Structure 1
Amino acid sequence: MIRCSFLLAVLVSSVIDAHAEDIGTLPNGAVLEWPRLFIRDGEDLVEPPDSETLRSRLNLASCVCSQVSDAADTNLYYELHLSTTTNMNLPAEVMTGTSCDDDIQQATNCTKIPDEAIGDIDVLATREDTISVKLYDLINARADQRDQPCVEANGGSAFVWVVVDTDQNSDPDFFSPRPIDLGVFTDVIGFDTKAPPLPDNISATGGEGSIEITWDIPDANATDLYAFQAFCMDANGEAVSAGEPPLYSTTATVCGIAMPLDLVASPIDNGEGTEVTVAPTPFQNLDPAFLCGTQESGTATSLRIEGLENNMEYTVALVAVDFYGNPIGTFLSRTIVP
């Protein structure tokens, strides 16, 4: 299942070009190469097999887990290689941020990653090595963002830098920046930690053994919508499941930390059912056991839930998901009766 966004593909070149070229040169004609990007998969480091996998590592849930938990490895790993030795055994620093080649802006825009400093870059000429960078450090690189919640942005740019003082005068003069995603996939541009827009004019009606949810696509940021998923609970509080996988990411699925999603109420005035004032806890936790329907199209305006019991009241929620797996949701203010 490959998620495609033509808008992302069109914009990718401008983001990569912003900070993709080295500034300055290394001695002896050496060139610092960034061959591959890795992510953690169990005990192994692997290259992201597709753009969907990489995007799922660059969303809000992964950033929050990177900040607050070591239960899951959400780091990004960058392989480095040197084309030839500099013959000078130079050390290198690793940084995240923007404009790290500017002495003044570096202090406010960049974060040093001391644990990943390279003692002698010449070793990279004989073997590839990787630097490990926390997603949170990439996204919240500015000094005024440290220890703050993850920056929320749609198509946010972030960069990792290798910095070398080639003449060893305490004034670095070689800078090698690369975008967070290395430009591996044309439809992955930086990070996305901002939820998509919520659909407008949400409504629902009961049918024969079914519920039809309808909505209008919002005017703002509609291209950020990838899919819609519904959650159902019957009158006994039991889950109604269609056995479908979640298309969203939460801190619970990434690192085992439950952080409920704030679901707003969508007013329903159908003259049936009973009032629902608060979203059920499983809905707030986006418990996949309650997933009862999926519409895998960001331009769709309806979703049909099948296999329901007639004359049974159902509590229903709708979640919109973007291309990176960020969710936003609403619950219906009245139960719906097929």
Structure 2
Amino acid sequence: MSRLSLAYFACALVLTPTAALAQSTGNIFMELRIGDEDGEFIFANPMEQAEYFNRARCECQSPFQIRYRLAEGVQASEFSGQQVDIWFGSQCTDPDFQVNCLRTPDGIDNYANLQSFVNREYTVNQIIALGEEECPSVQGANSVFALVDVGQDGTFESTSTFEINYDTRAPGVPDNVELSGGEEAVIVSIDLDEIGDGDIQNYEVLCAAVDAPNEPVKDGPSQAPYDRAQDIEGCAGAFDIDVANGGPEVPVGLSTLDPSFICAEGSPSATNIRVDGLENGSQYHVVLVTVDQQRNASATYLGVAEPRPATDFWELYEEEGGSAEGGCNSGGSAGWLLALAVGGLLVRLRRRGATLLAVLAVLAVPALASAQPYWDELDEEITEQGPSRPMWNVGIKLGPYTPSIDDEFSGEGPFERTFGSKDGLMTQVDVEWFFAYPAGQLGLALSLGFHSKSGGAFTRDEDGELQRIEDGENTSFRLYPTTLSAVYRLTLLDDQLGIPVVPYGRLGLAYYYWQITRPGGDLAETDSGGKGRGGSLGWQGSIGVAVRAERIDEAAAASLRNEFGVDHAGFYAELNLAEVDGFGSGSKLSVGDFTWFAGVNFEF
């Protein structure tokens, strides 16, 4: 019996349940069909069926059809000549509850006719309102009963049913909604703690300019994501969705919820819905619509909002005298050399792709190296195989980071003012390739990373002073560092003395690409045309210590080595100094930092 080296974790496939077709019960099979735009009755999928039995269809008395036929294996002779009565409701076979049911006038004259399909047409309000004039605002279900009463004495010798679910209750509108202006946008802010009725599938925002109220500000969808009377054949004017808080000032396109005026949408968990592409200084009417799964809708008029200019981090940096220029370039010959070296290292790494995949699998199970695996109970002797000198070291590390952008300013700089004084998180992946072993490992190291921070943009008050915008108008800074270094790892302590500690150092060339976004997520740009992106060259050095933690469990270490060629696994920590400012160029953004990192690594 061979020794297992790695536990395999099965991923369970989680299937999301979907609506199922309603099933008829009893001797008579029933099939539901709904009306289409051409007045024909068609078979519909479960979602289409669920959407059909809603408030608008009930008010508009939309038609539907039930097809009746004897179920498979049922003989027509048993009740041949008997009439089949059709009832709508619940508990319609109980005489005490039949008063709450609706007996349809068009039954089936002869049970034997059901040897083939017999079609009957009804209206949605019949199955929901059960003969009442007004459609109730309720979510529930009623059944179609096909009953045979041979003696006409209230005792049914044959009972068949088919259940139809409906929902005529409009979704709630959030109680606390705020409307504000943003950078070429208006923002609808929703308090999720005060939603009220939570039966919301999505939000729709309708907009119209105050100075052009009859013209959509954007190209909305051709069909509404909710049902309106005017969209249902023969129902115009029979049913309207009231716009709460509205009045004569609400444009017709918004008061009628014309879908061409839809300018944005949001998920049920959205706290901010942003309508982009508007004009600063213009005013816009705004209506918020909540829609449920059955296409019922509620609407409320939020008022008028005016988009306003916002100052993002890149604009603030320029306003406060920052000298760095935007735009991308290679950084000269040094940038090209770095790119070529990175490419060469990646080519070599590709040749060890299978081992790298194994390392990534182990990264997903970090406790493997120190855990006591169940296969240690096996009696088979372990023999070590594989390379004696690792050629590669791969690690992933995390650490605090704040780019040194504000070093060119005295006092609080634009970066701290925008994003705060707390460090952000930098994530990096290290890949090291060794080509010589002088009492350790000598080689090249490639590091790739990501860092991001977001903060509120600014607007100017009447006195021209900057004020923070607190309603979701965020500006972001993203940093993508790339470093190519020489690396030396002193493995002598572990290789010769059995002390599983590996001091190391790196020194090399760095290129950090950076990007700044304005509110809404687009690339920032100053009035002078400076793009909020660029790259800075520099140098980077680090010293650290790695611990080969697999020494804790030699059996697990041998299993990793034999199966995947992973010689050592452990963790490491380091101090890192990055001077990345274009080697002192005033036109380059200074994005380095002095910080620390910690992570896990694998040698193979």
1:75 to 63, 67, 86: 63
Over 3 Å counting, the alpha-carbon distance change for 1:193 and 1:43 in structure 2 is closer
The structure with more radius of gyration:
2
The superposition leaves residues 131-170 of structure 1 with CA deviations (integer Å, 9 ceiling, x where unpaired) of 22211111111xxx622x101113x11111111113x344
Confirm or deny that 1:251 pairs with 2:229. yes
Superposition deviation, residue 336 in structure 1: 2.9
Matches within 5 A, 1:228-307: 228-234=203-209, 235-237=211-213, 238-244=215-221, 245-255=223-233, 256-258=235-237, 259-265=239-245, 278-295=249-266, 297-307=267-277
Q: Percent same amino acid among aligned pairs?
A: 24
The superposition leaves residues 207-261 of structure 1 with CA deviations (integer Å, 9 ceiling, x where unpaired) of 2322121112235431x11001111111222322332242111111123413433
Alignment correspondent of 1:113:
104
Confirm or deny that 1:151 pairs with 2:136. yes
Distance 1:260 1:136 in 2: 16
Q: Give SS of 2:201's match.
A: strand
* Aligned residues of 1:56 and 1:249 also touching (Cα < 8 A): no
Matches within 5 A, 1:115-154: 115=106, 117-125=107-115, 127-141=116-130, 146-147=132-133, 149-154=134-139
Confirm or deny that 1:193 pairs with 2:141. no
* Aligned residues of 1:61 and 1:250 also touching (Cα < 8 A): yes
Letter in 2 for 1:33: F
Alignment correspondent of 2:360:
none
Higher mean Cα deviation, 213-222 or 315-324? 213-222
Distance 2:176 2:289 in 1: 14
Confirm or deny that 1:93 pairs with 2:88. no
Superposition deviation, residue 80 in structure 1: 1.6
Distance 2:87 2:95 in 1: 13
Letter in 1 for 2:304: R
Over 3 Å counting, the alpha-carbon distance change for 1:277 and 1:313 in structure 2 is same
* Aligned residues of 1:163 and 1:172 also touching (Cα < 8 A): no
Matches within 5 A, 1:165-180: 165-166=149-150, 168-173=151-156, 174-180=158-164
Q: Which has the higher strand share?
A: 2
Letter in 1 for 2:119: T
Alignment correspondent of 1:65:
60
Letter in 2 for 1:123: N
Distance 1:317 1:21 in 2: 46
Q: Give SS of 2:58's match.
A: helix
Letter in 1 for 2:228: T
Q: Give SS of 2:34's match.
A: strand
Greater length-normalized contact order (CA 8 Å, ≥ 6 residues apart): 1
Distance 1:158 1:78 in 2: 14
* Aligned residues of 2:291 and 2:298 also touching (Cα < 8 A): yes
Over 3 Å counting, the alpha-carbon distance change for 1:332 and 1:281 in structure 2 is same
Letter in 2 for 1:120: N
Distance 2:141 2:170 in 1: 16
Over 3 Å counting, the alpha-carbon distance change for 1:282 and 1:7 in structure 2 is farther
Distance 2:306 2:50 in 1: 35
Alignment correspondent of 2:147:
163
Distance 1:220 1:332 in 2: 17
* Aligned residues of 1:225 and 1:299 also touching (Cα < 8 A): no
Alignment correspondent of 2:298:
328
Superposition deviation, residue 57 in structure 1: 0.9
Aligned residues: 281
Confirm or deny that 1:213 pairs with 2:188. yes
What TM-score, normalized by structure 2, do the two folds share?
A: 0.44
The superposition leaves residues 90-117 of structure 1 with CA deviations (integer Å, 9 ceiling, x where unpaired) of 11111111221112321x21111112x1
* Aligned residues of 2:206 and 2:254 also touching (Cα < 8 A): yes
Unaligned runs of 5+ in 2: 1-15, 309-604
Distance 1:205 1:219 in 2: 19
Distance 1:7 1:191 in 2: 19
Distance 1:46 1:241 in 2: 34
Distance 1:317 1:164 in 2: 52
Letter in 2 for 1:171: G
* Aligned residues of 2:54 and 2:296 also touching (Cα < 8 A): yes
Q: Give SS of 1:137's match.
A: helix
Letter in 1 for 2:117: E
Over 3 Å counting, the alpha-carbon distance change for 1:104 and 1:215 in structure 2 is same
Alignment correspondent of 1:48:
44
Distance 1:146 1:178 in 2: 21
What TM-score, normalized by structure 1, do the two folds share?
A: 0.76
